[in-house]
Copies of this chain bind each other. A is one copy, B any other.
Amino acid sequence: MLTDKVRNAVKKLKPYVPGKSKEEIARSYGVDPKHIIKLGSNENPWGASPKIKDEIIKELDKLHQYPEPINPKLMEELSKFLNVGEENIIVGGDGADEVIDVIFKTFVDRGDEVVIPIPTFTQYRVSASIYDAKIVWARYDKENEFKLDVDSVLNNISNRTKVVFLCSPNNPTGNIIDNKDIEKIIKETDALVVVDHAYIEYSQRKYDWTEKAPKFDNVIVLRTFSKVFGLAGMRVGYGVANEEIINYLMRVKPIFSLTRLSQVCAITALRDRDFFEKCVKEGIKSREMLYNGLKKFKDIKVYPSEANYLLVELKTMKSREFCEELLKRGVIVRDCSSFDGLGDNYVRISIGTFEEIKRFLNILKEIIS
């Protein structure tokens, strides 16, 4: 029996049920896909740099050639953008998810411990389960606007702890982790501290650890092109750390995973700094518009956010029912009941264009007070 050959860790995993696409939602709910408002995946509603088109066309006669494992132009542009050395950067071909996988491959043997404060980005738990790590939960404090409970992290670190995952701004809660708290954790452990900065562009510069990371010997910052750069569909993420860490990670990183066109997209996005700045600025404006609009509903509690989404607590409805009512009206938001450590009455709402936010807030009146 082949089933006897499957790893026990895999037998315990739940089969994956993919989220629904715009097209599927349109079919199921009889809505025109063009009218669907997608506020569920923290994407950049203004899309990617318009300069990408010309650059992609130039690359099309090379699609039959393997991608360059390390694209020198991409490394140069990233190094300039981040103000760190090229030797401090590892670029992943499946967004930051690949870098997370590579971190597990490099550091985590079966039974090793990883510390994950929750609620947070689900991928840490998913990867830990696949690699059969022992997950030690810590917490973001619900009673204190989801501020990281630093002691819950420190008290759970042991000799077997290999990795600590800190998400800042945290997904789905939106809040930042204080610099002094991150520093305390880094200094009190020799485990690798992952500071996930997927949304850092939407927050204040002083919270950005990217430039500092290479100065420590146990920190890696994760970043991505999937958010403000508007390239979630092209799967480019990266990590920044000191050279020794990067060299270990490079030993196990898939060699060719970043496609030729993904490389072109990332390089062009980095070079179009005007579009980037515009998306940051309008993104923050959209977040404020959404925040102020949601504040007016008495049955909703909105949490402040430094990211491109807002966490919302529903005082009178379950999240499942709330999302279903929105889907019927062509709006996709994220039901947070699948996040470990959150209840069944939380929803995450991404920024949209100003037009989309206005339409969404009007639709919302039909559902909740």
Interface residue ranges, A against B (CB under 8 Å): 1-7, 9-10, 13-16, 18-19, 21-22, 38, 41, 43-48, 52-53, 56-57, 60-70, 93-95, 97-98, 101, 105-110, 130, 132, 162, 190-192, 217-218, 226, 230-235, 244-245, 247-248, 250-257, 259-262, 265
Contact = CB atoms under 8 A, between A and B. Distances in A.
A64 B52 contact: no
A10 B48 contact: no
A66 B43 contact: yes
A259 B235 contact: yes
Q: How many monomers of this protein are in the complex?
A: 2
Given A10-B248, A53-B57, A57-B53, A94 B63 contact: no
Contacts of A45: 64
Most interface-central of A18, A52, A66, A250 (chain B CB within 10 A)? A66
Contacts of A226: 66
Contacts of A56: 56, 60, 261
Nearest to A241: B2
Contact of A64 (B44, B57, B244): B44
B259 A191 contact: no
Given A41-B65, A64-B230, A250 B106 contact: no
Nearest to A12: B251
Given A5-B192, A64-B43, A94-B94, A255 B16 contact: yes
A122 to B, nearest CB: 11
A261 B234 contact: yes
28 contacts: A2-B192, A2-B218, A2-B245, A6-B107, A7-B106, A7-B107, A7-B108, A7-B109, A9-B109, A10-B251, A10-B252, A13-B251, A18-B70, A22-B65, A48-B60, A56-B56, A62-B233, A64-B231, A65-B232, A65-B233, A67-B232, A94-B256, A97-B255, A97-B256, A234-B259, A235-B256, A261-B261, A261-B262
B5 A254 contact: no
Contacts of A3: 244
B247 A5 contact: no
Q: Sort A-B residue pairs by CB-CB distance and give the 9 closest, nearest first.
A: A233-B260, A64-B230, A18-B69, A94-B257, A47-B64, A63-B233, A48-B63, A13-B251, A66-B232
Contact of A60 (B52, B94, B250, B253): B52
Nearest to A53: B60
A274 B192 CA distance: 52
Contacts of A57: 53, 57
Contacts of A132: 109
Contacts of A38: 65
A254 B106 contact: no
A233 B66 contact: yes
A235 B257 contact: yes
A265 B63 contact: yes
